[in-house]
């Protein structure tokens, strides 16, 4: 039985699993990333766990790694702000040496995009965009059947397209990036802005640390107009940004994944409305916006493993 190892590197945990060609995870486990200040110790520990847990009668064909700031061309993780491993880390090389099988690496959003293509709703599609709405906004673009890496390996950073000139300060150093509005953290900022302007007294007494996207979602379901409007505003900007993206690659479908996309109609309705309104007439009514069909908890491992299958096929 041929299996790929899918590794998802996160700031806190690094989860991994053994995945077959049909997207079945035979076994999964994780290491605590922060336990390993030295990346070499991390890879050594990972290789040990892999050999201990490896399913019997399996042939391991490669390791796929999804990592923040991962560069596909070089197999490196480059200056990832929420990892302890600083600078440029040759993670793919370290993995292939430790496990004696090929290793391929890309950023986590690109990995999830391939996961959707191999194991999710994008099976058989040649042109689609995958958006992950988490703490930030990640994205991957597949055109003509291939994941787009671009000239330097960093293609598909829709989260850092500027949607509002002189807008909110972004972690990338510029202002007005899409992810400052359309993400779990973005919607919280929007909600605070609404409260500040509509209910300045309330804003003084409220425990702002307790407010997250989930809280706003619950409030919106319970008829809180400010929370409802926060979703509307988020969807309006997202639909607008996606309508512009369509002009680049003419996708068949745009998939939304991640915590915020679980808000369902609250997010999808305003997004689709604004999307259709802003689309060029050639595209109107032709591009679907759908929820990802990858399971939330396993998407990262599946995505990373699909990197291996993608290289082979």
Identity of the residue, 4 or 177, whose beta carbon is nearer to Zn ion in the bound complex: 177
What is the binding site for Zn ion (CB under 5 A)? 160, 170, 172, 177
CB of 170 to Zn ion, least distance (A): 3
CB of 2 to Zn ion, least distance (A): 40
Name which of 268, 266, 237, 270 is nearest 255 in CA terms: 268
CB of 241 to Zn ion, least distance (A): 13
CB of 107 to Zn ion, least distance (A): 15
Residue 67 bridge partners (DSSP)? 107
**Phi and psi dihedrals of 261, rounded to 5?**
-70, -20
Identity of the residue, 21 or 160, whose beta carbon is nearer to Zn ion in the bound complex: 160
Radius of gyration for the alpha carbons in the chain, expressed in angstroms and rounded: 20
Identity of the residue, 160 or 219, whose beta carbon is nearer to Zn ion in the bound complex: 160
Which region holds residue 57: left if phi is over 0, alpha if psi is between -120 and 50, else beta?
A: left
CB of 171 to Zn ion, least distance (A): 6
Identity of the residue, 83 or 177, whose beta carbon is nearer to Zn ion in the bound complex: 177
Identity of the residue, 173 or 223, whose beta carbon is nearer to Zn ion in the bound complex: 173
CB of 162 to Zn ion, least distance (A): 8
| CB 23 within 8 Å of CB 302 | yes
**Phi and psi dihedrals of 5, rounded to 5?**
-95, 125
Q: What is the Cα–Cα distance from 291 to 289, expressed in whole angstroms?
A: 7
Instruction: Return the DSSP state at 74.
Output: T
Identity of the residue, 14 or 177, whose beta carbon is nearer to Zn ion in the bound complex: 177
How far, in Å, are 32, 58, 94 from residue 45 at the CA level? Answer: 10, 20, 12
Q: What is the Cα–Cα distance from 197 to 58, expressed in whole angstroms?
A: 60
Name which of 120, 44, 33, 41 is nearest 82 in CA terms: 33
CB of 180 to Zn ion, least distance (A): 7
Q: What is the Cα–Cα distance from 39 to 49, expressed in whole angstroms?
A: 15
Identity of the residue, 170 or 304, whose beta carbon is nearer to Zn ion in the bound complex: 170
């Amino acid at each position: 039985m041929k299996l790929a190892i899918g590794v998802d590197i996160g700031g806190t945990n690094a989860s991994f699993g053994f995945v077959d060609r049909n997207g079945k995870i035979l076994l999964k486990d994780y290491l605590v990333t922060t336990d390993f200040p030295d990346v070499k110790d991390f890879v050594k520990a990972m290789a040990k766990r892999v050999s201990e847990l490896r399913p019997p009668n399996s042939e391991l064909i490669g390791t796929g790694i999804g990592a923040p700031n991962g560069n596909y061309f070089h197999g490196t993780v480059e200056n990832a702000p929420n990892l302890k491993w600083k600078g440029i880390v040759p993670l793919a090389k370290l993995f292939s040496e430790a496990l004696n099988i090929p290793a391929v690496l890309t950023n986590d959003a690109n990995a999830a995009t391939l996961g959707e293509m191999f194991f999710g709703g994008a099976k058989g599609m040649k042109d689609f965009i995958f958006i992950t709405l988490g703490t930030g906004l990640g994205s991957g673009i597949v055109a003509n059947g291939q994941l787009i890496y671009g000239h330097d390996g960093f293609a598909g950073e829709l989260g850092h397209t500027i949607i509002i000139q002189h807008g909110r300060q972004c972690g990338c150093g510029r202002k007005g990036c899409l992810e400052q509005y359309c993400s779990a953290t973005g919607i919280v900022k929007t909600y605070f802005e609404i409260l500040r302007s509509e209910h300045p007294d309330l804003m003084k007494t409220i425990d702002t640390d307790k407010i997250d996207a989930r809280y706003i979602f619950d409030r919106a379901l319970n008829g809180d107009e400010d929370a409802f409007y926060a979703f509307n505003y988020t969807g309006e900007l997202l639909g607008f940004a996606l309508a512009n993206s369509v002009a680049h690659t003419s996708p068949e479908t745009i998939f939304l994944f991640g915590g915020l996309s679980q808000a369902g109609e609250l997010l999808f309705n305003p997004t689709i409305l604004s999307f259709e309104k802003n689309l060029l007439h050639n595209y109107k009514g032709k591009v679907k916006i759908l929820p990802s069909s990858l399971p939330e908890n396993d998407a990262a491992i599946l995505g990373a493993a699909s990197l291996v299958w993608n290289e082979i096929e």
